[in-house]
Structure formats: structure tokens, C-alpha cells
Structure 1
């Protein structure tokens, strides 16, 4: 029986590289996968899943209006899929996570979702909250704080490196906008 998996972590934990390694492993065995990523990322390489260590691959793009279930079934009819891999899964809607669960439960297609658990204020994203509630398997990937402890939080920073404590939940950026920290250092940097 297929499962819905959620691999979650703070930034810089290797979520995208782990996803791309899984896709490579399936492909090496002659199995087809379908890759997805959030359409809202407008940085260079938009639409592509890319890791900080240089791995990348093109992917289907989802936004809040995408019907992932139907798109996967359409592709599956043409070429049987061994797995669906979703990067930036925190940006899935609640309904899209339920669609992924249906793919696993009704179509026997494993869905591996990779994403952040919380935003820069320590709040769950809609997609991550629903994945934490519904996934058959939860796997925490580890990142490292500047102190050497496990990083669990994502601190948003400004151009000068100072902590940002307010703003929109979603602001696309990499190392120039976010730092992965343990909770203690996250709170200290925010002055809490």
C-alpha cells in the first residue's frame, strides 16, 4: 500500500537534494516519477527544483488553483508513475494535501512531500499543518544551527543581517533572507 510521506525541516537541511536523490534512484531503476514545486518562486531557475549543492531538475508547478490529483492521474494514464515528489510542500493548500492522500490511498501512488514545518515567526504553514496531520510517515531532516545544535527555526533577516519579526508569511529567498537556527538562538535574535 502506498503512503503519503512528509519530510520536513528548517532551511538548509537538504530537503531538495534528498528529493532529487530519490528521483534519481527511481529513474536509475527505470521507474517514472512526477516532480512538483511551488510556482511562486520567482528566483533564477524558477520552476526548477534546485539544491544548494548544485543538483537540479525541472518540475511541474503548482499554485493554489492546481489540481494535483487530476494532473497526476492524467500523467499516470500515459506513463505509469512509481512516485510523486513535491518540493516546497509547505505551500500546498489543505485541499491539495488531501488530493495527495487520495493518490496514495486510491491510486496506490506514493507521494513524498518535502517542505518547511514553520515560517519565520514559528507558525505552521497551511500545507505543513495538513501534512503533519495526514501523512502516514513523518521524517524530520536535520539542519545545524550556528551553535552546532539542531536547527528547527527559520529566521528571516534584512539586508544587514538583522532579524525581521513582522511581514507576510511568504517571502521567497535563500541564504540572503533566512538563517536556520535552534529555538534558543532564534528567540535571542528576535529579542524574545
Structure 2
């Protein structure tokens, strides 16, 4: 991922937390014909048996990409956060428009999980997303037997974290006056993503 130095996010803990907070990612791999294939899925950051962080997820068995994920297959996972258009009119001088955004990309190798391993991944995933439900469900409440039956239709995988790159393009290269004006304009758009981006910018340069 090309990222100018001013916009590089390098703190590992920050990158890992970004993945946890923005776990609906894009999994990209290359087919046998050399053509890239991609699927939008939840991809979780979880420790392996040795405590090393890895990515985990699952695809439908009907998805052809699932057949590409075994035997240490190279893959790319893309996680996107808040983003917004930045208008030229928001500067006190002539400038081109741009786009501010937050993103993390991970490269690594995938392998297929056993049924027991896949069940544990699903258990953690359900617990995570049900945590704030009014009537939370779990693997136990659905019954393990039922979940294992439904698991026949999925392929669960792990992905090593060989490289991780973060981009926080947040107008860091602008002076304080223009930086604060961009924050103000973002908040006036009324768009949730723009407001979230403004909050991130304000936190980084109060």
C-alpha cells in the first residue's frame, strides 16, 4: 500500500485496535488463472495457540475463493475506517480537493481450520457481536450440535500477519488554521463518516 510518510500509521497496538474496531474487511487472493478474487467478510484478530496474533474468518463453501485458502496461500486483508471528501473550498488558499481516510492492510498466508478450531472461532465471533444485543445469543444457546450442522456450509481459515501497514490520511501536512477549518467543515456535512473523521483529527491535534 502506497502511503506518504506523513500519513503512515506505524504503532502496532493502534493498528491492531483498528482491525478490532473495523473488522468487516476485504479478503483478496489470486485464482489459479491469475485473476484476483475478493470477498467482504468479518475478519477477526485472535491469538493462536502460542499467543501470536493472527487473522481468522470464514467463507461459504459455495464461494470459489474458499478453495484457494489452503496450503499457505498468499492473501491480502483490507480494513477500512472513516473517510470523506475534502473540498478545495475548505482552504484559505488555492488547492486541489482530496480524500481523507483511515485504512489498514495485512498480507500473510492462509490455512484451513479444523472443525473444532472453526467452532471456537465462531464462538468468539458470536460472543463479540452479540455483546450489546438486548437478547444475546451464543453457540451454547443455539446448541453446539446445531452450529456444527450449519458449519458444514463454511470454510474457516487463519491468516498469518506477515506485514501490516496503516494509513491515517488526516491532513497532517496542513497548518493549524486550515487543519481546524477542515475539522469544522467535516462536522457541518452531517455525514456520520465525516463526523467520525473530524473527531479523529481533533484527537490527534487538539
Instruction: Place the TM-score, normalised by the shorter chain, in its bin.
Output: under 0.3
Which of the two has higher C-alpha Rg?
Answer: 2
Bigger strand share:
2
TM-score (norm 1): 0.21
TM-score (norm 2): 0.20
Bigger helix share:
2
